[in-house]
Amino acid sequence: MSSEHRNATTPDRSMAVGEPDGFSLDHEVRQRLRSARHLHLTGQARRAKLGYVLALEACPVNCETRVGLAQLHVLEDRLPAALKVLLSAPDGTVLSAEYHYLLGCIYQQQGDLDLTRRHFAKALELADDFQEIHEFMAREQLPGPVYRDFLATLHGRLKPSVYLEIGVAWGDTFALSGDSRLSIGIDPVPRLRSPLLANMQLFSVPSDTFFASPENRRLLEDNPIDMCFVDGLHEFSQALRDIFNAEAFAKPGSVILVHDAYPLNQATSTPERRTMFWSGDVWKAIVALRQSCPDLRIETLECPPTGLSVITNLDPGRRFGRPHIDAIAERFGSLTYDDIAQAKAECLSMVCDWQAVLDRLAPRPAPGP
């Protein structure tokens, strides 16, 4: 089993005991199952397997026992044996999300992606917070370069003199701006992994507070932005304000990049976080901008894990006030994932040729004589 699905082989999820309605495990079987799970978790595979076998013989319709035994077969790289255990579940077995997840992992190892997708989808129907499945979906739906790699390449080619990043977090993408003349970071609670360079200024305030400061506005007026990366709160109205605020201090040829612009599914693209894998509802900002500001050029790249929108043809003279921005946010705030699910490519202006976008933003230097 590949490392990306390591959780499929350990009983560390909250798996439901798969019992038919009105049925409960007797005390002896429940104790045997509890002991097998403990042995499994502590790496005592041989004894755990025996415990699972005995528990399964006593109660064949218990799904948790069946999944545990199959997990141990997977650890031993005995995929056919694991499949046999899972697929021999008798009628009356209540199949769990973990059951379908493990089946999907096995089919993926065997190269059957149709069955993988089918069982992963069933697992999400039963439990919508499956980070590993969401990561699998993201890799399938977004086959482009990881967004950090695209940013690194763009920095190397565009060489922005003034760079702005909203949402610095650990500083991994902020560090890419080391060659800029001035690099400005905004994050109320930064958690930098490396020290700032001499060209970097970090403002530990919310972005609205930063842009409201006359001193900071003068800083940006004196140093118009060449490139901005918006990766702050995963919240539509905040992202919208950040984009318009950055545009006001940009140049006509500048570029704004927006992370988390691609909604994977309903569960992971809501304003409130309910899942480990989460992009929030930033995608609404892309829909709103395409309709409210058709002069902008917006292209959403297939950059995993959650998409990257590239905004150009900026108009620094637009300078929408807060009431205007709030009105746009109110107009589009009620959108749901279902409103765009069947037309994501069109609504988000998806572009699969990321290299063409890169070359347009930063043409390759002409070859020497």
For residue 214, being part of any structural domain is answered with yes
Asked if 208 and 104 sit in the same domain, the reply is: no
Q: How far apart are CA 16 and CA 64, in angstroms?
A: 7
Domain assignment present for 162: yes
Residue-level pLDDT at 36: 81
Rounded alpha-carbon distances, angstroms, from residue 169 to 188, 190, 192:
9, 5, 7
CATH of the domain at 85: 1.25.40.10
Is 137 part of a structural domain of the chain?
A: no
62, 93, 127: which is the final residue of a domain?
A: 127
Q: What is the 3-state secondary structure (H, E, C) of the chain?
A: CCHHHHHHHCCCCCCCCCCCCCCCCCHHHHHHHHHHHHHHHCCCHHHHHHHHHHHHHHCCCCHHHHHHHHHHHHHCCCHHHHHHHHHCCCCCCCCCHHHHHHHHHHHHHCCCHHHHHHHHHHHHHHCCCCHHHHHHHHHHHCCCCCHHHHHHHHHHHHCCCEEEEECCCCCCCHHHHCCCCEEEEECCCCCCCCCCCCCEEEECCCHHHHHHCHHHHHHHHHCCEEEEEECCCCCHHHHHHHHHHHHHCEEEEEEEEEECCCCCCCCCCCCCCCCCCCCCCCHHHHHHHHHHCCCCEEEEECCCCCCEEEEECCCCCCCCCHHHHHHHHHHHCCCCHHHHHHHHHHHCCEECCHHHHHHHHCCCCCCCC
337 and 202 in a single domain? The answer is: yes
Residues 35, 29: contact at Cβ < 8 Å?
Answer: no
* Domain end position, chosen among 74, 93, 127: 127
Same domain, 286 and 225: yes
Task: Note whether residue 319 is domain-resident.
Answer: yes
Whether residue 311 sits in one domain with residue 163: yes
270 shares a domain with 212: yes
Instruction: Report the pLDDT value the prediction gives residue 127, as an integer from 0 to 100.
Output: 95
In the chain (369 residues long), the average pLDDT of successive 10-residue segments reads: 50 45 60 83 86 88 92 94 96 94 97 98 96 96 97 96 98 97 98 96 98 98 98 96 98 96 97 96 98 97 98 95 96 96 97 95 72
Residue 134 lies in a domain: no
How many independent structural domains does the chain possess? 2
What's the pTM value of the predicted model, to 2 decimals? 0.88
Range of the domain at 297: 147-361
pLDDT at 254: 97
Same domain, 311 and 164: yes
In a shared domain, residues 323 and 255: yes
CATH number at residue 183: 3.40.50.150
In this structure, the answer to whether residues 183 and 251 fall within a common structural domain is yes
Among 127, 159, 176, residue at a domain's last position: 127
**Is 104 in the same domain as 168?**
no
Residue 368 falls inside a structural domain:
no
Instruction: Indicate whether 74 and 187 sit together in one domain.
Output: no
Residue 300 and residue 199 share a domain:
yes
Residue 139 in domain: no
136 within domain boundaries: no
Q: Verify that 190 and 227 share a domain, yes or no.
A: yes
